Amino acid sequence: MLYLTEQGAVLGREGDRLVVRKGEEVLLSVPAFKVEGVWVFGGVSLTTPAIGLLLAQGIEVCFFTVEGRLKGRLTPILSRNALLRLRQFERYTNEGFRREIAAQIVAAKLENARRLLMRYARTYPERGWERPLQALERRIAQARAAPDLEALRGIEGSGTAAYFEAFREMVRGELRFEGRRRRPPRDPVNAMLSLGYALLTGEMIGKIAACGLDPYIGFYHEVRQGRPALALDLVEEFRHAVVDRLVLSLVNRRAFRAEDFEEREEDGAVLLRPEALRRYLTAYEAFMRRSPGEGAPSWRERLDEQVRRMVRAVWSGSPYMPFRMEA
């Protein structure tokens, strides 16, 4: 994955290579076949020849704001599977199918939150973990039996609130965390969480589109203009397993400090400074390439597997199997 964060840089083409320049200086030159995707942050430009090479090689480009909010994508023609998309639209109109898949996703998300919390409870048993663990256990059971999507969203919201109350105790470094705040993030930990979720969503959108599904037609998240509902559905299963674990590791190892962040005057948003953003992206990429066990697929490969599972469920109507963390 190629991450472009240097403001004012230009991505161009020289033959079959992608070249990043700033002024007369060459910052990077890499063969296009070695690039899985290009993620552009803020004021980085792409030349028309570079865009042509990216499209010809089937390389997706995601555009983010400097703070990490996904703005849009440049996508090659990856799949013409119209029949699969028609089936997806049919499934979307089936309330029973939507409720069943949504219940699986929410239950798995809350189970993953509980399992991450249990890991910290084993390491730090002196802290009071029983209350949030019990709250999550109740919400998991309720999610499986929820009568409709509205009830399911309430259950998820309640369970997530209990989890993030405990998450405050899991943050042990010098950086503060006052509770989950998204738009805009008001502290360094929220800034890293929001950025990680945006990166994960960007990856998921591309993987869904490549498999022939429409990333904007989901089964749990409401369909709205410009909202990648299906990508958000699948990201729910990986929020705590991937992003929260990464952020906790970085914060508790003191890999990031208060001086790595700045506050934007106009809205009070807390953002990673440019050099810290590059370090965060390096850590994220290393995590996504990592295998959690001997011979196990990497985290990025697990995203691929979940998309394939969703394709099977949509096409055949078979039960969807969500991702669950190891206990």
Provide the token pair at 302. Answer: 């697990």
| Cβ-contact 221, 235 below 8 angstroms | no
In the block, residue with structure tokens 């969500």: 322
Task: Tell me the mean pLDDT in the region 119-148.
Answer: 88
For residue 233, give the nearest of 293, 295, 165, 313 by alpha carbon.
313
Provide the token pair at 55. Answer: 């499209």
Residues 136 and 277 in one domain: yes
Question: d(Cα 313, Cα 264) in Å, to the nearest integer?
Answer: 44
Q: Is 14 labeled as ligand-binding?
A: no
Domain housing 253 = 82-316
Q: What is the DSSP string of 296-325?
A: PPPHHHHHHHHHHHHHHHHHH-PPP-----
Instruction: Determine, yes or no, domain membership for 123.
Output: yes
Q: What is the DSSP string of 135-175?
A: HHHHHHHHHHT-SSHHHHHHHHHHHHHHHHHHHHHH--SSS
Global pTM value: 0.89
Residues 9 and 107 in one domain: no
Residues 183 and 70 in one domain: no
Instruction: Determine, yes or no, domain membership for 325.
Output: no
Residues 45 and 187 in one domain: no
Among 25, 54, 74, the domain boundary falls at: 74
Residues 51 and 107 in one domain: no
Q: How confident is the model at residue 201 (pLDDT cuts 50, 70, 90)?
A: very high
Residues 54 and 144 in one domain: no
Residues 200 and 68 in one domain: no
Residues 37 and 180 in one domain: no
Residues 44 and 157 in one domain: no
Residues 99 and 21 in one domain: no
User: Which amino acid, one-letter code, is at 165?
Assistant: E
Q: Is 221 labeled as ligand-binding?
A: yes
Question: d(Cα 87, Cα 317) in Å, to the nearest integer?
Answer: 10
Number of domains into which the chain is organized: 2
Provide the token pair at 290. Answer: 């990592």
Question: d(Cα 3, Cα 39) in Å, to the nearest integer?
Answer: 5
Instruction: Determine, yes or no, domain membership for 222.
Output: yes
Q: List pLDDT tens digits, range 66-77.
A: 877 888 888 877
What CATH code is carried by the domain that includes residue 203? 1.20.120.920
Residues 114 and 7 in one domain: no
Instruction: Determine, yes or no, domain membership for 248.
Output: yes
What CATH code is carried by the domain that includes residue 13? 3.100.10.20
Top-ranked range on mean pLDDT: pick from 112-121, 164-173, 207-216, 231-240: 231-240
Residues 248 and 183 in one domain: yes
Q: Is 25 labeled as ligand-binding?
A: no
| Per-residue pLDDT, 79 | 63
| Per-residue pLDDT, 78 | 62
Among 38, 53, 74, the domain boundary falls at: 74
